[in-house]
Amino acid sequence: MENNLKFIDPHVHMTSRTTDDYENMAAAGVVAIIEPSFWLGQPRTQVGSFQDYYSSLVGWEPFRASQFGIKHYCTIGLNSKEANNEALAEQVIELLPLYLFKENVVAVGEIGYDDQTPAEDKYFRLQLEMAKEFNMVVQVHTPHRDKKAGTIKSMEVCLEHGLDPSMVVIDHNNEETVKDVLDRGFHAAFTIYPKTKMGNERMVEVVKRFGSERIIVDSSADWGVSDPLAVPKTASLMLKKGIDREAVHKTCYQNALDVFGKSGKMKEEHWEKQAGIDQRELYQDNSVLRGQQPRVDSEKIV
């Protein structure tokens, strides 16, 4: 843990990761994560697939994270890519309210645009209205193609629907979009990838130029080439490059807690006051250990 800093990764798809990743993240100082619902790589063909996936984000995955001392939260939404299957999207929209009030769901997300099609626009707007109705934070996926135009459009649509920018996290930013996002009062999150999108060297320069207000570092680690240790690694590089500790703390921990904490469901006490790990615990009679010796912290022994 770099200088005893703690980290939150507010965008990481742990469903696609292994228990080794959880162990390594915990060892690096990650205390809490947010897992946005997203496209799994293989298109889903029926609403039951979404239902089972959302159920895992509010059930199995929080348990799996807890077995390694990490507090798990998630965001629930219909992702932009699969919004283009309108017959299925209609059913998913009906499903969402069943999950948005679960105890670890801290936002509607990740939602937004992929190819910026009319269908994507329709379901983005429907979910913004849902977030507005339920007074929820929104996590926006900005398109990887035509990013600047798509990012600006995403913000304009949020404002058109009357959302408070302080309740919206615009993710997948880069040097081309960050000023527009900050100038409009939104939170600017950056996904740090090993070789593409934002690298941690570039992230250091962004913080040097724009400061630490409303800027958030995350990994977006998933089933592709990505790094679940991107947040602590970027924090370490920031410190080495002369960025002060407080700015590192804000961009790699506090800013995420401040915005997603507006849900009322994400609180520092959840990980600061939690009991030690007890890997004897089961979830629906299942264990992560596969017969191995459980870790049992002394304060959990009864």
Rounded mean pLDDT, 283-291: 88
Rounded mean pLDDT, 51-79: 97
Residue bearing tokens 């299925």: 88
Per-residue tokens: 218: 């995350």
DSSP string, 136-147: --EEEEPPSSSH
Topology given in CATH for the domain delimited by 2-282: TIM Barrel (3.20.20)
Q: What is the mean pLDDT of the chain?
A: 94
* pLDDT over 70 (residue 2): no
Per-residue tokens: 287: 């264990």
**pTM, rounded to two decimals:** 0.95
Q: pLDDT > 70: what percent of the chain?
A: 96
The band of 3, judged by pLDDT with boundaries at 50, 70 and 90, is low
State the DSSP code for 223: S
3-class secondary structure per residue, 118-183: HHHHHHHHHHHHHHHHHCCCEEEECCCCCHHHHHHHHHHHHHHCCCCHHHEEEECCCCCCHHHHHH
* pLDDT over 60 (residue 212): yes
Could you tell me whether strands 71-76 and 105-112 are parallel, antiparallel, or unpaired per DSSP bridges? parallel
Residue 101: per-residue pLDDT: 96
> Picking from 7-16, 48-57, 186-195, 245-254, which range would have the lowest pLDDT averaged per residue?
186-195
* pLDDT over 90 (residue 285): no
Residue 302: per-residue pLDDT: 39
* Rg of the chain on CA atoms, in Å: 19
- At residue 184, what is the residue type? R
pLDDT tens per residue, range 78-95: 999 999 999 999 999 999
* Alpha-carbon 199 to chain mean position: 18
> Picking from 85-89, 195-199, 247-251, which range would have the lowest pLDDT averaged per residue?
195-199
Rounded mean pLDDT, 182-199: 86
The band of 193, judged by pLDDT with boundaries at 50, 70 and 90, is confident
Rounded mean pLDDT, 193-199: 70
